[in-house]
Amino acid sequence: MVNTVKYFKPEIIFYTFLAFFCSKILCAQSYSGALIVQDSLSFPYYIKLDQNGSSGYSVSDIQGSTETFSLIDINQFDNKMGVEIEESQLVYTRLNSASYDDFCKIIFKAKLNSKSINEEFKALTSDQSPCGNGIVKLENTKSLSAKLKKIKSKIEKNRALKTLTSKSDRETSVKKIEQLIKLSVLDYSTQISMNSQDFFDFIFFNDYANITLIFENITLENWKNFIEVKNGLIIQNNNSLELVKTSDASRSTIVFSNENLLAGKSFIVRINENLSLRFIFPNSFENISFLF
């Protein structure tokens, strides 16, 4: 997560997230839940672990105004009976740089052979200064999604609920659960949805001179009609565009404008040899900006 100048409370309701964890080992799965900070605010929180159980990534406030994607390290402790999960590097945030002052990394421990995780976390800035603390609660995403679908089905079909609640209340509850199901994904990196007038600050690429964007099922011959570049040059190579920064002092920006060609399509940004992020354009939008 990022250390923001002020907190933004997400609209997602926390109480639907239950607190369970992998029954035996930290395996190659994803986990959904929330961070509850000291002042009782809650932020949706998600982690994805690789098959080796030694690294992965986290996302705080998924689809929210403060969404932050970070790489994580997983370190063993206590004679291999537990692990410490630590956010190691910020990849991007949807916050403009004017709204935050530093990366506030989350660190927490989890014991193996545990059915749930309900642990305290600490948060530190880049100079190791404390920037927050609270409780982290997570559940296996697959299990959470199945439970949410069962709850949705009961609300829609249970006769007792129909007699005790109004139709509008049931419809509101179903809509909220459907929103949570959409966020309970097995691998968030493969389906990052963009919104109208969205903004992504790719802090990960601060020191990179070249960034490649790989497009899927999009004809790029006329890319100048829907892409604006600031402080950079674009080099086209088949279905990919390479951004080359032209200034060491200023960061580069790519702005996508609304174009039928982009509706519902996607492109991929490669982070490292093990991780690529797939961004999906909405069916309708004004503009979407990426700062590199």
With a pLDDT cut of 70, the percent of the chain lying above it is 85
pLDDT beyond 80 at 191: yes
pLDDT tens, position by position, 135-177? 999 888 777 777 777 778 878 787 777 777 788 777 777 777 7
Q: Residue 160: what residue type?
A: A
pLDDT tens, position by position, 108-122? 997 755 666 788 999
The CA distance from 255 to 250, in Å, is 16
Helices (H), the chain: 141-157, 159-164, 167-183
The CA distance from 29 to 137, in Å, is 16
Predicted confidence at residue 253, as pLDDT, reads 97
Distance in Å from the first CA to the final CA of the chain: 18
- Within 194-274, strands assigned E span 199-201, 210-216, 227-230, 232-237, 240-245, 253-257, 266-272
Which residue segments constitute the domains of the chain, with CATH numbers given?
2-142 (2.40.160), 191-291 (no CATH)
- C-alpha closest to that of 8 among 68, 57, 48: 68
103 and 129 Cβ atoms separated by less than 8 Å: no
**Please, is 19 exposed, middle or buried when counting C-beta atoms within 10 Å of its C-beta (0-12, 13-18, 19+)?**
middle
Dihedral angle computed from the Cα positions of residues 192, 87, 214 and 95, in that order, rounded to the nearest 10 degrees: 60
pLDDT tens, position by position, 203-261? 999 999 999 999 998 888 889 999 999 999 999 999 999 999 998 889 999 999 988 88
